[in-house]
Amino acid sequence: MPQYRQSKTRPDFNQNDALTVFYIGMNYKVKPLDNINIRQALSLALDRETIVKAAYQGAYTPTCHIVPKGQYGYDENLNCPAGADVHGDKQKAVQLFEKGLQEEGLTRQTFPQITLTYPNQSQESANEVATEVQMWKSVLGITINTTSISQNSLYTAQAQTQGKDGPLQMWLAGWGADFPDPEDWITLQFGAGAPNNAYNYGDNNSSNVASQKDLQNQMLAADVMSDKAARLKAYNKIEQQLVNDVAWLPIYQRPDFRLIKSYVIGMKFSSASIIAPDDWGNVYIAQH
């Protein structure tokens, strides 16, 4: 990352959007994170572009998407919660937060201690978290605590959080495609009993849990649709509802970047950052 800005100006710099999204997870079994207005306020208080610039030198693409750009199922018309864009909406965030506080019988002074956990292996993650915490403080007037643990410990904690109100409340996480299909991003993350559903989507006492369960049924139906266009439409609808529910709080999509000598001709990378087998015949080294 420290070399990104310098490398980007080089003539041999090359990058493509990778099928990798980083996000903040929130546990639906932790109050008041189960309140949809609180969740949307936390999302809308963040300016993702500023976060990416502050923590990652602008190397990544700010996003509210769950299904990443570059694969079947990507919805270019998707919006952040409340119809916002990646810059958020401070005024709407405050309105929703105050509504959520009232619904929960809370004030800013009695807002409970919530901790955001992040992996401790990079300064960039620490910078990201510090920027997010400052935005929540500035826009919403609350202090979110932070703690860092090893990446392996975070993986373990995620598994332990499924079906429970801890150990995690909020945490930094990321997902890269196992296979390039929306099922990998939707049903395997938020479906009933899905092994990655540490957010406890559809398994909580929130006021909209019934609609979450209905959406989980829609996921299963979309998974087995044979009509590709109908399946795409179904997944797009499901994803927008997941974004509105802040099932994930996406922050950025990560590209892959590399340096390729100018005399290496014909290397075209897919969104999986591979060269299709049939394309290798077009790759060669020119005289130099």
Q: Left if phi > 0, otherwise alpha if psi is -120 to 50, otherwise beta: which for 75?
A: beta
Residue 96 vs residues 85, 114, 198, 237, 246: alpha-carbon distances, Å: 16, 18, 25, 23, 13
CA distance 206 to 199: 12
Residue 200 vs residues 30, 117, 179, 241: alpha-carbon distances, Å: 10, 17, 23, 16
Query: What is the pLDDT confidence band of residue 142, given thresholds at 50, 70 and 90?
Result: very high
Tell me what pLDDT residue 279 has.
Answer: 83
The DSSP symbol for 288 reads -
Instruction: Write out the two tokens for 248.
Output: 């994930």
Residue 263 located in a structural domain = no
Write out the DSSP string of 134-177.
HHHHHHH----EEEEE-HHHHHHHHHHHTTSS-S-SEEEEEEE-
Q: Identify any residues that bridge with 130 across adjacent strands, giving them in sequence order.
A: none
Average pLDDT, the chain: 93
Instruction: Write out the two tokens for 274.
Output: 């591979």
Residue 273 located in a structural domain = no
Query: What is the pLDDT confidence band of residue 284, given thresholds at 50, 70 and 90?
Result: confident
- Tens-place pLDDT, residues 20-54: 999 999 999 999 999 999 999 999 999 999 999 99
For residue 98, the domain's CATH number is 3.10.105.10
Instruction: Write out the two tokens for 121.
Output: 């292996």
Tell me what pLDDT residue 260 has.
Answer: 78
Q: Is the pLDDT assigned to residue 143 strictly greater than 60?
A: yes
Tell me what pLDDT residue 1 has.
Answer: 55
Residue 3 located in a structural domain = no
- Tens-place pLDDT, residues 230-278: 999 999 999 999 999 999 999 999 877 678 788 888 878 776 777 788 8
Measured at the alpha carbon of residue 125, what is the angle toward residues 119 and 131, in degrees to the nearest 5? 130
Residue 281 located in a structural domain = no
Of 6-20, 52-66, 159-173, which gets the smallest average pLDDT?
Answer: 6-20
pTM of the model: 0.91
- Tens-place pLDDT, residues 145-175: 999 999 999 999 999 999 999 999 999 999 9
Collapsed DSSP state (helix, strand, coil) of residue 116: strand
Domain encompassing residue 100: 17-256
Residue 254 vs residues 77, 99, 153: alpha-carbon distances, Å: 20, 34, 23
Tell me what pLDDT residue 264 has.
Answer: 87
Q: N- to C-terminal Cα distance for the chain?
A: 30
Give buried/exposed letters for 90-111 (b at 16+ CB in 10 A, else e): bebbbbbbebbbeebebeeeeb
Residue 285 located in a structural domain = no
Number of domains in the chain: 1
Residue 172 located in a structural domain = yes
Residue 264 located in a structural domain = no
CA distance 256 to 220: 31
Residue 9 located in a structural domain = no
Q: Is the pLDDT assigned to residue 115 strictly greater than 90?
A: yes
Tell me what pLDDT residue 257 has.
Answer: 66
Tell me what pLDDT residue 98 has.
Answer: 98
Tell me what pLDDT residue 286 has.
Answer: 85
